[in-house]
Structure 1
Amino acid sequence: MLIALVAAATERIRVGSGAVQTGHVTAPVLVEQFGTIDALHPGRVDLGLGRSGHRKSQFAELAAGVSKPEARTEARTVDGLLIPPPADFSRIAGSPTLRLYTALLQQQGAEAPEFAELVDEITALIEGTFKLSDGTEAHIVPGEDAELQLWILGSSGGESARVAGERGLPFAANYHVAPSAVLEAVEAYREAFKPSAALPAPHVMVSADVVVAPDDETARRIASPYALWVLSVRDGRGAIPFPTEEDAAAHVWTDEDRALVADRVDTQFVGSPQTVADRLRTLQRVTGADELLVTTIVHDHTDRLRSFELLAEEWNTPQ
């Protein structure tokens, strides 16, 4: 709904998802929804697909103690880019909130198809080539022949990166949420890549969480509530309304809580326009990114807009 509203309020910019949680939706519904938006705003809609919703069994195993979280290692720096140790999600795996969300988002007894199969179904429905094994065809209108650009979002070097590469689709690597695996993700994608009609060579987007202000000190102050918000996401409560700076200053942190959010906080790019732009260029260089996606999460929307304005001005200044 938000994509459609933004598309209706704009004329030139591309709009899209980053990404649809495909474990909670069927291919025909997804193609029809995005096909409808494309019919109204042709040629500028991106359909980003993510594997979220397909991994219930992994969280169940963590909660039961069957599967162990990836062993923590020391942070490392690769050519100036911080690669933190992976986060331990065993704390959230057994939370009542996660069980509730899982129950609400998927119909009882429903099983999500394999991610690769779903991507192939979506592609075939858009291209108008979908057939069952007995030759029965399916046609989704609107949706068929829509000018949608397909993307795959991935947080590791696993199935999402492989599927994106093998299908010759552009790939978005998730540094701002899963920074520990960004290099493995882009490497796995490039290794699996096969040229397609849509894409003759690998194309990588890498995300980063940024907060820009006129100076480093102001940026750090504005960004200070971020850690508390991430903690709420990861400790099993579910995301709280974004805290104020006063909320952040009043919070009493434990060592366990700090460890739970360290990878996200340490890889947030916070500072003056030059500080953040320099770190983004490092991210681009080390990952070989063709595009960067930046997101800014702060309490005051005016600060968010100003952050984007300052970064755009600095990024477009000749070096």
Structure 2
Amino acid sequence: MLRTLTPRTPVRPALRRLAALLLLAAATLQGAPAAAADGADPGWTAEPASGSVATARRPSFYLAGPAGAVLEDRLALTNTGDRQRVVTLRGADAYNAPDGAFAVRPAGGSRGAGSWISFGGAATVTLPPHTRAVVPFTVTVPPASPPGDHPAAVVAAEGGHEAGVRVDLRVGGPALAALTVEDVSVRGHGAATTVAYTLVNRGNVTLTPALALHAERGLGGASDPRTARALPVELLPGRRVTLTEPWPDAPALDRVSLRLTATAPGAAPATATATVWLAPRGSAAWAGGGLVALGTAALVLVRARRRGPPGEPSGQPGPPQAPAPRSEPELTGAST
């Protein structure tokens, strides 16, 4: 009796393929938290808590009171992911970065309003998956605090990701809005020309400035006024920022008088002026070389005029000289 043998599927190659797929899936899962730390969705959010579901969401905290007051508010934390999160909370001082951006101090670096914020025993919050927690906090204003705005932030951190919520805190008392413009200069050439300047908040309240630029050319007296435009910066009290204003239609070669006028609600207009020479790129070196060549040519011409051409007397009188001896006798009488 003959039996038909059915070929069997090799077992070892199939197991190897399955093991490779499992390893690939494990590597993908292990790489997910790193991607979140690099700027992807962290899986949780932090924002000001609203009073009810119908209440509009607040972009930031706003608190006001006299020196010595204790102010209260609430932060909402929401875990949108499938795993548990442990979020730590702290207060931080806020300031303007050199380009005007809103920035906060790192942990342990706050000495102002950020150090007035306290979460009590809730500085560390455990969030189960798909849950929301409302965390109260207090702001204790020292009795000797000066009046005006004291910018700060509430910072939540977890797994290498930080989220800051702005705190606009105003201490009662006289409010002073004061603004100055300083350090005006021109950078670049042609269509890339910009006007650089520094704004300084010398008051005690946050300012939202606008800037107007006026340029008056020296050759021909042409004027280039511009209407004021709002600047994309909130200038915090006591801070200074350096900004640039595009000037794509700047003249290629001219002497220009610039006038910058900065305004802000409640503050007197601030003006700064500067006079600049504009020239094409590389023209300064060319002009310097031309002046040197011109000076050298003039010096050679003066020396040549002083010496005179060969065979002609010099232009400058010299000392008297004795007559040269003759090789032949001089005839003084009539011939005989």
- TM-score norm. by structure 1 comes to 0.20
Bigger relative contact order, structure 1 or 2 (CA pairs below 8 A, ≥6 apart): 1
Higher helix share: 1
Higher strand share: 2
- TM-score norm. by structure 2 comes to 0.20
